[in-house]
Amino acid sequence: MAGVPFRSPSTGRNVRAVLFDTFGTVVDWRTGIATAVADYAARHQLEVDAVAFADRWRARYQPSMDAILSGAREFVTLDILHRENLDFVLRESGIDPTNHDSGELDELARAWHVLTPWPDSVPGLTAIKAEYIIGPLSNGNTSLLLDMAKNAGIPWDVIIGSDINRKYKPDPQAYLRTAQVLGLHPGEVMLAAAHNGDLEAAHATGLATAFILRPVEHGPHQTDDLAPTGSWDISATDITDLAAQLRAGSTGFR
């Protein structure tokens, strides 16, 4: 990739960093977590629908952050929330976590550290990296995102986890402090995400935005985020398409 940087129509500034929502946008959390749950269930002779369990575990993600976003709870890392949510879903499934080795459950919760990228993610990110700063803008903590990148070969330039900002999206400071750490104006930072709600919050703080289509993030019957719902700077079919559009300076689905 070479040439003039992409100029954001919404911010009026040249984009210098393209940052990515990670769970669902860069990596396929559902397959990875379901596989880890299935392996654990098989070892312990548990009758569990691993895919449904993965969905319920992920469904606890936002509710578990709500108390922190509201100020009712002090910040804790996503690793802690994932571990707490695992116990919650086990009990919901009729399984008492106190009857299971806590170390093994800790290891199961670490499945979130080793998720597999979508096929286009690494080549697309590598192409974008040639011209732009790239990194995650994720609710994941730094160690989680670092483990994920090392395991999956994700070529980030920088990792600024939520434990550095001590804010979870969609808190405006999650976006603004990340730009500040990079020494950039918010309008020079683009958030690329498969979730319109994330993009709405980023846009409201002055970031450039790109929608990435992930039509099976939640499985074959997904109904949300199948199309952009806002006037984002770019709408792309995947990350390699985003790279091409950044290169061409074009917008809209191809």
- pTM of the complete model: 0.95
Q: Give 251's pLDDT tier (boundaries 50, 70, 90).
A: very low
What letter represents residue 226's amino acid? Answer: L
Tokens of 167: 């804010």
| pLDDT for 252 beyond 60 | no
Residue 17 CB neighbour total at 10 angstroms = 22
Predicted local confidence at residue 3, as pLDDT: 65
On the question of pLDDT at 1 being above 60, the answer is no
CB atoms closer than 10 angstroms to residue 175: 26
- pLDDT at residue 149 greater than cutoff 90: yes
Q: Where are the domains of the chain?
A: 17-28+115-248, 30-113
Q: Which fold has domain 17-28+115-248?
A: Rossmann fold (3.40.50)
**Banded pLDDT at 249 (limits 50, 70, 90):** confident
d(CA 27, CA 97): 28
pLDDT of residue 196: 98
**What pLDDT score does 254 carry?**
35
Rounded average pLDDT over 65-87: 97
Q: What is the pLDDT of residues 192-228, one digit of tens each?
A: 999 999 999 999 999 999 999 999 999 999 999 999 9
Specify burial of residue 223 (Cβ count, 10 A radius: 0-12, 13-18, 19+): exposed
* Alpha-carbon torsion angle 140, 142, 147, 153, nearest 10: 90
Residues contacting residue 135 through CB under 8 Å, at least 6 positions apart:
17, 19, 20, 156, 157, 158, 159, 160
Task: Classify domain 30-113 by CATH number.
Answer: 1.10.150.240
pLDDT of 112-144, one tens digit each? 999 999 999 999 999 999 999 999 999 999 999
**Is 236's pLDDT higher than 70?**
yes
Q: How confident is the model at residue 2 (pLDDT cuts 50, 70, 90)?
A: low
User: 3-class SS at 133?
Assistant: strand
Place of tokens 């070479």: 2
Contact (Cβ atoms closer than 8 angstroms) between residue 86 and residue 78: no
> What's the average model confidence in pLDDT over 65-94?
97
